[in-house]
Structure 1
Amino acid sequence: MDSITRIRCFLQVVESGGFSAAARDMGRSKALISKYVSELEDELGVRLLNRTTRQISLTEVGEAYFREAGELLQRFDELKDAVQQDHREVRGRLRLSAPRSFSEAMLGQVLASFLQEHPRVELDIEMEDRFVDIVEEGYDVAIRVAELEDSSLIARKIRDVRVLVCASPAYWEAHGIPETPSDLSAMPCIIDTNYKFKANWGFKVDGTRSSVAVTGPMHVNSAKTAVAAALAGLGAVRLPIFYVLDEIERGALIPVLEDYELPGPAMYAVYPHRRHLSAKVRAFVDYMVAWHKKLEQRGDCPKLLDGPLPKDL
């Protein structure tokens, strides 16, 4: 039994005027209350109460302990209430890790929308393309676009992500449009080294997974730079849809081989604990899932999602 419980029993005995009354007030047996007070005295090595068959009274040291312990316990309870209140309310500093290229492509809008709905949250965002140890580095949550491996972390799927091969119209005119994925092996390609398989691009051929080894003038760990190289006609790129959607919509990039697409990686929110998950983390993850669900329903066009999410989500 912890010391806090023993102290509570001692205080209640004094405030109630006896062991029987304290037992009734606390909903416990008289014997148990007496046991806890005796254990507290043994722990302290002093007698706190004078006991007779009819009444109790505080010893001199017991009177001082009653006064000081009561104040400390009140402060302890106030601190507990404050912490629990902060944990229940959507408020406070939220440390977020996200891939830089993804963040620059489309994360800004959903974060702004989230803060409009939860103005008491302060976001502290680190955008890095490296793999971040969120426990060691003290992050509340991380956004990852990947095929996740087994981990002690909790991962909630936000959405599936299409991965497209595309290039500029001038590039396709110069090199021809590939009819099958294997045609890409003879074409210059821009290789995003953030991708797990790097220069081995995966496709679905005859219902099974197949990979094509590609080469080209640029290996780069930035999707944004890879898109810029594709727009300049330096090669074809294979990237998640949100990196190239705007360029495809305006005709600057043209996707190919869509019938050969594999199920892509997924976007996940990753966080350390499921138990006692804070309200700010839960609200953020729920918001990301709802926002991207609506985004998919509207054709992956962020321009259709200005402002906070509708209240019916």
Structure 2
Amino acid sequence: MDTLTRMRAFISVVENEGFSSAARKTGRSKALLSKYVRELEDELGVLLINRTTRQIALTAAGEVYVGRASSILSDLESLNEEAREATGEAKGTIRVSAARTFGDAELGLSLVDFAKAYPDIGLDIHLDDNFVNLVEEGFDVAIRMTRLADSAMIARRLASLNFAIVASPELIERLGRPTHPTQVANYPAVIDSNSRLFSNWGFRDPVTNETINVAVSGQFTANSPVTVRAAALAGLGLALSPSFVVREDLEKGRLVTVLDEYMSSEAGIYAVFPHRRHLPARVRVFVDFLAAWFRKCDSHLNGAGNGNGNGAG
């Protein structure tokens, strides 16, 4: 049995915090994993793990070894990926994290189109409106719709992400159209609790370029842009929404936009991945595909207007 197999067994036991859980994760028996780790310890001549009936604990040598062993295996994986890339091969499975709104909206078609174009690459897609830790949770890439500020990650901007303040025509007829961001505080708001802006909406003065922050409140709060859209359609208040969510409503006049000239365009759709020396070929192919897909669809997704000379941003 080769050393790499034993190293992988050891790291699996450590990452899964025990032989039983590692056995379930890898599909190998607990006895076999125990045998591999014992052989690795015999080969090294040191004890790596202190075993008890309920848990494991790394020895001082184990603490040192697990870090270097993980780095070696990561470098080996990168080397294999580079070799496959050199021969034009991109295979394997990509674990993708994305917001539910991304997957459920037409943007999710980008993932479907990629799967059709690259049948040899598997997609394991997890939709979650919370930002996940890519490293800790084992994701290869995340699709994030935000004003990106995480310097610990590598990011590639795929597309612009426009936002709009929208309302039903009935609400505007009843309360009037706001002409300055500070007036928004006097209107009921429908609030998306997933948004980093939450109940403090940000605007940009078109003349001075200064930021204007306005605290909003209202009867209806939801952690879903799609549900917020429904509440806005029902006339419950102004809503801050990604333009792609309300594009069709604006085109058909079911919603109108306000304060377009004060909307910032700093947000974007990003592919985010952990810092690695060598990006796996399958991930590079995936990100390149998404970038091309969004270049083709960007104006369609972000360029909708409401038909009243007051576009969606």
Give the partner amino acid of 1:166. V
TM-aligned CA distance change 1:212 to 1:133, over 3 Å: same
2:113 corresponds to 1:120: no
Partner of 1:13: none
Q: Alpha carbon RMSD of aligned pairs, Å?
A: 2.6
Alignment check: 8 A CA contact 1:227 1:244 kept? yes
2:243 corresponds to 1:238: no
Map residues 54-65 of structure 1 onto 2, 5 A cutoff: none
Give the deviation of 1:84 after TM superposition. 5.5
TM-aligned CA distance change 1:121 to 1:266, over 3 Å: same
CA displacement, residues 62-104 of structure 1 (integer Å, 9 cap, x when unaligned):
xxxxxxxxxxxxxxxxx99976555662222111000112221
Give the deviation of 1:298 after TM superposition. 4.5
Partner of 1:293: 295
TM-aligned CA distance change 1:165 to 1:145, over 3 Å: same
Give the deviation of 1:197 after TM superposition. 2.3
Larger Rg: 1
CA distance in structure 2 between the partners assigned to 1:80 and 1:202 by the alignment: 42
TM-aligned CA distance change 1:257 to 1:268, over 3 Å: same
Q: TM-score, normalised by structure 2?
A: 0.67
Q: TM-score, normalised by structure 1?
A: 0.67
Task: Give the counterpart of 1:255 among 248, 254, 257.
Answer: 257
CA distance in structure 1 between the partners assigned to 2:277 and 2:138 by the alignment: 17
Which SS does the other structure have where 2:139 is aligned?
Answer: coil
Identity %: 40
Which SS does the other structure have where 1:215 is aligned?
Answer: coil
Alignment check: 8 A CA contact 1:146 1:267 kept? yes
TM-aligned CA distance change 1:183 to 1:80, over 3 Å: closer
Map residues 147-162 of structure 1 onto 2, 5 A cutoff: 147-162=147-162
Segments of structure 2 that go 5 or more residues without pairing to the other structure are 4-76, 305-313
Alignment check: 8 A CA contact 1:163 1:264 kept? no
Which SS does the other structure have where 1:262 is aligned?
Answer: coil
Which SS does the other structure have where 1:185 is aligned?
Answer: helix
CA displacement, residues 148-197 of structure 1 (integer Å, 9 cap, x when unaligned):
22432211111221110001111111211111112211111101111212
TM-aligned CA distance change 1:182 to 1:94, over 3 Å: same
Map residues 147-296 of structure 1 onto 2, 5 A cutoff: 147-205=147-205, 206-207=207-208, 208-296=210-298
Aligned length: 227
Which SS does the other structure have where 2:183 is aligned?
Answer: helix
Give the partner amino acid of 2:270. Y
TM-aligned CA distance change 1:114 to 1:251, over 3 Å: same
CA distance in structure 1 between the partners assigned to 2:279 and 2:292 by the alignment: 18
